[in-house]
Structure 1
């Protein structure tokens, strides 16, 4: 019986402040642990609060943009399409860019089909990206956007 009362009193002695006053090193260690624990909890709460504020701002921005997109409607799309084809200088520029793309693409098809890159001076295909056909994959969207359907279909296959 004496032993059980002694073990229960030994666990309670850590709660008694007099225990730490007699041992200043343990008091300092307890204080340091308390300060670090407080800082960790406080920092975590601050991060969570900042994250929630940022999310709410982003959600407000998304809803604002969605409302703006709904109000603009289809009339803006029709205006944009008419503006694209009006200026003859822009049409000529687009055609020059398209011609340059066709020139580059036909050289790639002829000399480096399936390779990652075409070396223009040596006219050799090089697999600098592990042989994945990087130029082929990268140019798919450009071919599609420019309306080069034949080349797009060949590249896709």
Structure 2
């Protein structure tokens, strides 16, 4: 910092002083926080683990009933396939919006997904899709995902190849 003294500038040390000492030596005020007891924390962690496992197991069984791959479901709910895989294994809990989209994509009741009731008690047959969706093979869905990512020129080339390979009707 510079100060103007009789037309000349001089360097002046600028040190901020505080009644309790310099700012770097002060300790922040202690804030009282409510902490869960170890027993309550352990109970909560166990509940979260069981819930994550339940959601994962139900998502996997619903996905298998629908004949979908993990990549198919991940694409439908808008998350990475790796993240969906961790959810299915019970390693992570989905957020509420993701859980909502998961239940819609798999036609899964949230009660069933969270393990509140079993699929038999709510009539899992009500959530079955018509056979049109089940007839698609995972290979076909994978091919469609790949085609959706292609440019117009690439799609024209694939169409020409397919026309050349397939027999004329």
TM-score (normalised: structure 1): 0.24
Structure with max Cα Rg: 1
Q: Which has the higher helix share?
A: 1
**Which structure is higher in RCO with an 8 Å CA cutoff and minimum separation 6?**
2
TM-score (normalised: structure 2): 0.23
